[in-house]
Amino acid sequence: MSIGALARRFGLATHVLRHWEAMGLLTPARDAAGRRRYGSADLTRVAVILRAKEAGLSLDTIRTLTGAADPAERRDILRAEAEALRSRIAAAQASLELVECALGCGQEDFTRCAHFRQMVADRIGRHDAIHIPVP
């Protein structure tokens, strides 16, 4: 399969596949004219790269993960990535709670809402009333 056909199959630009090759993520075969030729293993590799990117892994991490021969090393990489993902999820959840608090406030101006003020105070580590300037 040509680079154009592979790119179309996954909805990618050809320069993305060239970049992944330059990073060592892909190693397509070459025909007699030097053109890239992708086989079924390359299709699988592109799918793995895309799924890993969707999971939040960087290209460097994906390269390390796919290049690791030792299963224990791969598990260590995945454990570290899982912990980083848990941290990002927790931060996103806290952000969503703050936004939902502001949206659910009965005050005309959510910065006057006691619950919103308490959430902000909790974030900065204070449990007393805080002053949030009102524009």
Burial 51-86 (b: 16+ CB within 10 A, else e): ebeeeebeeebbbebeeeeeeeeeeebeeebeeeee
Domain assignment present for residue 74? The answer is no
Domain assignment present for residue 4? The answer is yes
Domain assignment present for residue 85? The answer is yes
Query: What proportion of the chain, given as a percentage, has pLDDT over 70?
Result: 93
Please tell me the pTM assigned to this model.
0.70
**33 Rama class: left (phi>0) / alpha (psi -120 to 50) / beta:** alpha
Per the CB < 8 A criterion, the answer to whether 117 and 129 are in contact is: yes
> What is residue 128's predicted lDDT score, i.e. its pLDDT?
55
Residue 39 clears pLDDT 80, i.e. is over it = yes
Lowest mean pLDDT across 16-20, 56-60, 108-112: 108-112
Do 40 and 94 belong together in one domain? no
> What is residue 109's predicted lDDT score, i.e. its pLDDT?
86
Do 10 and 57 belong together in one domain? yes
Q: Mean pLDDT over residues 98-113, rounded?
A: 84
Confidence of residue 135 (pLDDT cuts 50, 70, 90): low
- What span, in angstroms and rounded, lies between the C-alpha atoms of 23 and 17? 10
Q: Domain residues for 22?
A: 1-67
Do 61 and 3 belong together in one domain? yes
Per the CB < 8 A criterion, the answer to whether 60 and 17 are in contact is: no
Strand, coil or helix: what is 83? helix
Q: Mean pLDDT over residues 4-11, rounded?
A: 97
The mean pLDDT of the chain is: 89
28 CB neighbour count, 10 Å cutoff: 21
For residue 31, what are its two tokens? 């025909």
The one-letter amino acid at 73:
E
Distance from CA of residue 45 to its chain's centroid? 18
Residue 25 clears pLDDT 70, i.e. is over it = yes
